[in-house]
């Protein structure tokens, strides 16, 4: 009884202390207040009670060893979004607003982590403490190794990682001072200021092209080499075309071509054309039969699932499949017999679909064209296989016209690309244009993708569609459409978005009207921001941007795992197979969408690096540009001649104090009322190039002179303003 009384007495005193303490306290203060500094038994019970209160969320143990009591509030689960300044926001479906988390309350949480956060409801703005890290977003980080006599640390490259990683001597390996490395976090002790980790790979020296490209891939959790077991499995895959011939429809004697970029190494789609009677034609869309060679759950398949997509950096492609498959067995190279999964259309002269057939085929490509070569044939109306190319071009343009007539949305934005020398250094910039040769391929790939989705998603004689993988694209954000309408009307364009198909038609009309005008960049940018992000799902909601009720990805199984899933499902359903389990495929869809996003981020990072590298020797040069973004920190300007973007910091504009007017996409001088608006034409001088951060600083020129001649180094990330309104 005496022990229980002491325990009750301790808890009562502890609760009373916590109710009255108004500021953080250390353990020794608590023991002094409870008058048990010399009673080891009772001290142990206090320590256990404190641990229990931390788990309950009533207490927080901060990194400096102090305990902090919580105010009344709620706990929610969300994802950490770290800023460049060290504080964070928690984004959660359980809250209409983002929850601010100061640096001292992060409890070792890192960017992207799933956390449980305590939200104080009495605060002027929603603010919280991370109670527990539920799931780490990542454990590997790229950085530079720094050595001293007593310790080694990796200084992370990521602006989201604000602490160095301590590397014990036994985990340094062969890495040398100053090298770029990949470090894995092993643990983060409760009271430690730094996590502890080990070096898992040495990437090379900073500034070396291979090291920087591998670093970008590693930074986004993307592989940059194949495991030897995967390579070995690929080498053992049997080339069994002769065995397959009797099982397939034979297109080897039908005129077949491939059309790809001039630097393409793998060719996963081909087009065939055969003239029929009465002006009809047969068009075959032939796709490499990757799943014939890659068995489900095999070593190669598991690696393809993990990668989910090929990654396209400025100077290289990191394939989803080993080279023996991607550039060998599955590549539709000319004059080689290849296995395909095909969609074959019978069409009239007006591109109306009279019939379609799905099935396994064998082809033999007659010629490999580049886009430029096909464009020359279209322009000159002559050339090798000219009749076939021109027929396909005519049909493609009719398909394209019909697609836009039905509400497909068209954005025509030139994409900057780099000419790279043998060392990976950018030596020139060119633009990928949407030419009729590109449209020829695009329209037939869209037609095949839509037809496959319709075959499964619009079943004839079945009660409901079977499980399938769709490429979906939800409707635009209504609030952003209203903002676009408001800005367009201020600029003199009459547009009022309603609902349904009328939105896409009005959007296309607006984009057509502004093309070539001063407002083009502004309104095209705002229109793009209205669009949802396309993703993969088993739940079909259609594809808004293409105006297709059913759409999927069937045409690139060499480089996208969802296409492999579609091939397998289509083959199963063509044989009257049972419907697959939706949950299994939905999980793969979410993973594929996530990996697609990471690959896109890596591609953008490689472009930013090459942009900075290209501009290194151009500091001090002046250019005409267009404002491509505005934030509370600065103005993004895109140089007109090469589309290379940099930032003009607001603090470098000395003529006035400028503030960010988010609603009208501009910054405004408080005294002069001078404005810089998204889409404005400006002139800049290149101020500074920061290769480490992949950042460019521009200086705004006013009347021929830079407003601030000091070369500043931009830090942090694009301003994030008004976080409270994110989900409204």
For 381-425, the pLDDT digits (tens) are 999 999 999 999 999 999 999 999 998 988 776 777 889 888 889
What is the C-alpha separation between 234 and 327, in angstroms, rounded? 12
Q: Is the dihedral of CA 422, 428, 434, 440 positive or negative?
A: negative
pLDDT tens figures, 494-508: 887 766 567 888 888
Buried b (16+ CB within 10 A) or exposed e, 575-612: eeeeebeeeebbebbebbbebbebbeebbebbbbbbbb
For residue 725, is pLDDT > 50? Answer: no
Average model confidence (pLDDT) across the chain: 88
Query: 199, 122, 112: which is closest to 159 by C-alpha?
Result: 112
For residue 722, is pLDDT > 50? Answer: no
For 18, residues 6+ apart whose C-beta sits below 8 A from its C-beta are: 53, 58, 59, 69
| Cα 561 versus chain centre, distance | 16
The helix/strand/coil state of 580 is: coil
428 beta partners? 419
pLDDT tens figures, 585-595: 999 999 999 99
Count of CB atoms situated within 10 Å of the CB of 495: 17
Residue 51 confidence (pLDDT): 80
Buried b (16+ CB within 10 A) or exposed e, 383-412: bebeebbbbbbebbbbbbeebeeebbbeee
pLDDT tens figures, 177-194: 999 999 999 999 888 889
Residue 56 confidence (pLDDT): 67
| CA R_g for the chain | 30
What is the C-alpha separation between 314 and 103, in angstroms, rounded? 36
What is the C-alpha separation between 207 and 224, in angstroms, rounded? 18
Q: Both tokens of residue 219? A: 């930074």
The helix/strand/coil state of 404 is: helix
pLDDT tens figures, 345-387: 999 999 999 999 999 999 999 999 999 999 999 999 999 999 9
Match 């394939």 to its residue by tokens.
319
What is the C-alpha separation between 294 and 225, in angstroms, rounded? 19
Query: Within 13 Å and on the Cβ side, how many CA atoms surround 252?
Result: 10
pLDDT tens figures, 453-512: 999 998 776 667 899 999 999 988 888 888 888 888 877 888 877 665 678 888 888 888
Q: Both tokens of residue 359? A: 């099935």
Residue 306 confidence (pLDDT): 97
Beta strand segments in 188-276, E:
196-204, 249-250, 256-260, 269-275
pLDDT tens figures, 268-309: 999 999 999 989 999 999 999 999 999 999 999 999 999 999
Query: 140, 217, 219, 146: which is closest to 179 by C-alpha?
Result: 146
Q: Determine contact, residues 358/447, Cβ cutoff 8 Å.
A: no
For residue 329, is pLDDT > 60? Answer: yes
Least confident range of 20-24, 139-143, 312-316 = 20-24
Residue 4 confidence (pLDDT): 47
- Domains with residue ranges and CATH for the chain: 2-68 (1.10.10), 71-135 (2.40.50.140), 140-206 (2.40.50.700), 240-289+330-446 (no CATH), 478-528 (no CATH), 619-725 (2.40.50.140)
Sheet holding 353-364, edge to edge: 249-250, 353-364, 337-347, 281-288, 269-275, 256-260, 367-370
H or E stretch including 180?
A: strand 180-187
Q: What does the angle CA 100 – CA 158 – CA 304 come to, to the nearest 5 degrees?
A: 105
Assign 165 a pLDDT band (cuts: 50, 70, 90). very high
Count of CB atoms situated within 10 Å of the CB of 725: 12
Pairing of strands 695-702, 666-669: unpaired
Q: Is the dihedral of CA 149, 154, 155, 157 positive or negative?
A: positive
What is the C-alpha separation between 720 and 728, in angstroms, rounded? 16
CA dihedral 271, 274, 278, 279 (to 10 degrees): 40
What is the C-alpha separation between 468 and 462, in angstroms, rounded? 15
For 578, residues 6+ apart whose C-beta sits below 8 A from its C-beta are: none
H or E stretch including 724?
A: none
Residue 155 gets which letter from DSSP?
A: E
Pairing of strands 152-156, 165-166: antiparallel
H or E stretch including 703?
A: none
Match 């641990």 to its residue by tokens.
51
What is the C-alpha separation between 342 and 571, in angstroms, rounded? 11
Query: 419, 389, 316, 401: which is closest to 350 by C-alpha?
Result: 401
What is the C-alpha separation between 292 and 571, in angstroms, rounded? 10
């Amino acid at each position: 009884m005496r022990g229980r009384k002491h325990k009750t007495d301790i808890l009562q005193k502890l609760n009373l202390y916590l109710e009255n303490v108004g500021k953080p306290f250390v353990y020794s203060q608590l023991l002094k207040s409870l008058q048990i500094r010399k009673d080891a038994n009772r001290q142990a019970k206090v320590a256990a009670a404190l641990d229990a209160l931390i788990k309950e969320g009533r207490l927080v143990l901060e990194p400096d060893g102090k305990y902090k009591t919580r105010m009344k509030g709620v706990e929610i689960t969300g994802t950490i979004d770290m800023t460049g300044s060290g504080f964070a926001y928690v984004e959660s479906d359980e809250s209409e607003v983002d929850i601010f988390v100061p640096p001292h309350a992060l409890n070792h949480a890192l960017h992207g982590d799933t956390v449980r956060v305590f939200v104080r409801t009495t605060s002027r703005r929603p603010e919280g403490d991370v109670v527990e890290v539920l799931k780490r977003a990542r454990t590997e980080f790229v950085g530079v190794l720094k050595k001293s006599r007593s310790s080694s640390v990796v200084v992370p490259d990521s602006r989201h990682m604000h602490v160095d990683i301590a590397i014990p001597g036994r985990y340094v390996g062969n890495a040398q001072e100053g090298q770029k490395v990949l470090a894995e976090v092993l643990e983060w002790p409760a009271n430690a200021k730094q996590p502890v980790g080990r070096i898992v790979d040495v990437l090379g020296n900073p500034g070396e092209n291979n090291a920087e490209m591998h670093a970008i891939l590693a930074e986004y959790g993307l592989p940059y080499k194949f495991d030897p077991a995967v390579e070995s499995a690929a080498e053992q895959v049997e080339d069994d075309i002769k065995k397959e011939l009797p099982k397939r429809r034979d297109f080897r004697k039908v005129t077949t071509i491939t059309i790809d970029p001039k630097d393409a190494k793998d060719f996963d789609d081909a087009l065939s054309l055969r003239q029929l009677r009465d002006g009809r034609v047969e068009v075959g869309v032939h796709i490499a039969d990757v799943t014939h060679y890659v068995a489900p759950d095999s070593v190669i398949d598991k690696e393809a699932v993990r990668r989910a997509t090929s990654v396209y950096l400025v100077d290289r492609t990191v394939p989803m499949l080993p080279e023996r498959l991607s550039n060998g067995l599955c590549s539709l190279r000319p004059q080689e017999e290849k296995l395909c999964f095909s969609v074959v259309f019978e069409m009239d002269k007006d591109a109306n679909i009279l019939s379609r057939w799905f099935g396994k085929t064998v082809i033999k490509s007659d010629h490999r064209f580049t886009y430029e070569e096909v464009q020359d044939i279209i322009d000159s109306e002559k050339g090798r296989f000219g009749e076939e190319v021109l027929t396909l071009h005519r049909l493609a343009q009719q398909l394209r016209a019909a697609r836009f007539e039905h509400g497909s949305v068209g954005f025509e934005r030139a994409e900057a690309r780099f000419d790279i020398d043998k060392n990976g250094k950018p030596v020139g910039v060119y633009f990928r244009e949407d030419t009729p040769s590109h449209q020829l391929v695009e329209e037939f790939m869209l037609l095949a993708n839509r037809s496959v989705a319709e075959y499964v998603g619009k079943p004839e004689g079945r009660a409901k569609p079977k499980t399938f993988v769709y490429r979906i694209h939800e409707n635009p954000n209504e609030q952003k459409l209203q903002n676009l309408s408001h800005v367009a009307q201020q600029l003199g364009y009459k547009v009022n978005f309603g609902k349904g198909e009328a939105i896409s038609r009005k959007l296309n009309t607006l984009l057509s009207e502004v093309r070539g005008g001063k407002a083009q960049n502004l309104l095209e940018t705002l229109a793009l921001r209205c669009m949802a992000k396309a993703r993969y799902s088993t739940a079909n909601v259609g594809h808004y941007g293409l105006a297709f009720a059913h759409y999927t990805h069937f045409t690139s199984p060499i480089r996208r795992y969802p296409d492999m899933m579609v091939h397998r499902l289509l083959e199963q359903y063509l044989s009257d197979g049972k419907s697959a389990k939706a949950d299994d495929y939905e999980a793969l869809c979410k993973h594929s969408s996530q990996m697609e996003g990471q690959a896109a981020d890596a591609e953008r990072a490689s472009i930013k690096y090459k942009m900075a590298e290209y501009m290194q020797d151009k500091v001090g040069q002046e250019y005409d540009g267009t404002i491509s973004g505005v934030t509370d920190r600065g103005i993004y300007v895109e140089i007109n001649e090469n589309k290379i973007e940099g930032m003009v910091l607001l603090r470098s504009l000395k003529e006035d104090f400028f503030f960010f007017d988010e609603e009208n996409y501009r910054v405004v001088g408080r005294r002069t009322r001078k404005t810089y608006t998204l889409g404005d034409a400006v002139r800049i001088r290149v101020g500074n190039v920061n290769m480490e951060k992949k950042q460019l600083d521009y200086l705004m020129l006013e009347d021929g002179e830079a407003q601030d001649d000091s070369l500043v180094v931009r830090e942090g990330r694009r301003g994030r303003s008004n976080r409270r309104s994110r989900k409204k």
